[in-house]
Amino acid sequence: MKAVIVAAGMSSRLSDTTSDTPKTLLPFENKTILYKILTNLSSAGVDEFIIVTGYKSELIENYLKAHRNHGYDIEIVYNPDYRRANGISVLAAEKAVNGEPFILSMSDHIVTVGAIKKILTSASNKNLLLVDEKIDDVFDIDDATKVDVEGNKIINIGKEIAQYNAIDCGIFRLNNRYFDAMRKKLQHGEESISAAINGLISNDDMDAVFMNEEDYWIDIDTKDAYNYASESLQETPVLAATR
C-alpha cells in the first residue's frame, strides 16, 4: 500500500526550534522525524511513499537525495499552494495515488507500528481514521483534534467539539471518495483535511480504528511537544512509550 505524507507546511508553531528547517527534518533518534515516520510506516506494511512538499521543499528533497531515500520507494509531489490549508496538499497527491487506497500521515505525527498496522489491515471498506481512547494521556489535549465515536462510526470531529470520546492520531486510510469529498468542500471555500472528513462523515463513510492499549502516538506540533518527544521517546523500538 502507498502512503501520502503531508510535509508542505511552514512549521510556524515551531519556528523558534527549527530556524526555518522543516520540522519533519528535526533530529530524532540520531536521525530525523521523517526517517522515524518512514520506518514505522514501512514496518507496518507500506511499500511506496508519496511526500507532498511545499515550504522549503528543496531542503526535504536534498535531504532525501543525500540519504538515497533511506532505501525507500519515494515520489515527491510539490504543492505550490502550500500556504493554503492542508487539504490542498492531499489533493495534490491524487494523481500519484493512482486510484488506490492509501495511508495518509502527517509529517509531524509519530505513531507506533502496531497502531499503523491495525488501520492498514482493517477489513472495512470505508474511509478510516486511527483514534486514541486514552484521552488523559494525550500530550496537548487543548490542541488535539477531538472525535465523537459511536461504536466504530465517527459522528463528529473537530478541535472545538464539546462532546468527544477519542482523539485523532493523524493517520488515515483513505480511498478515492476522499478526493470527491474534498472537491465538494472546495466549492464552498473549505480547504482543510477535516472539511473533507466531515463530508465523508455526513455520507456515513468514516469509521474509527482504535489504538491498542500498548500503542502510542504524539503530534510534534509545538516546541514543548518536540522537547517532550526528544527527551522521553528516544530510542524506543516502536515508540510504545507511556508517561
> Tell me, what's the pLDDT at 11?
65
> Tell me, what's the pLDDT at 243?
25
Which tens digit of pLDDT belongs to each residue from 112-163? Answer: 999 999 999 999 999 999 999 999 989 889 889 999 999 999 999 999 999 9
Compute the distance between CA of residue 97 and CA of residue 141 in angstroms, rounded to an integer: 32
Dihedral angle over CA of 22, 27, 31, 36, nearest 10: -70
Please work out, in degrees rounded to the nearest 5, the angle formed at the alpha carbon of residue 141 by the alpha carbons of 139 and 144. Answer: 100
> Tell me, what's the pLDDT at 234?
54
Task: Write a three-state SS string for 23-46.
Answer: HHHCEECCEEHHHHHHHHHHHHCC
> Tell me, what's the pLDDT at 14?
57
* This model's pTM is above 0.75: yes
Domains defined for the chain, CATH in brackets? 1-110 (3.90.550.10), 127-167+176-214 (3.90.550.10)
Cell numbers linked to 129: 481514521
> Tell me, what's the pLDDT at 19?
55
Percentages of the chain per state (helix, strand, coil), in multiples of 5: 35, 25, 35
Amino acid at 57: S
Q: Which residues of the chain have pLDDT under 70?
A: 11-19, 233-243
| Residues 80/99, Cβ–Cβ less than 8 Å | no
> Tell me, what's the pLDDT at 184?
98
> Tell me, what's the pLDDT at 236?
45
Residue whose cell numbers read 520507494: 73
| Residues 118/207, Cβ–Cβ less than 8 Å | no
Q: Which of 110, 134, 101 is nearest to 3 (CA)?
A: 101
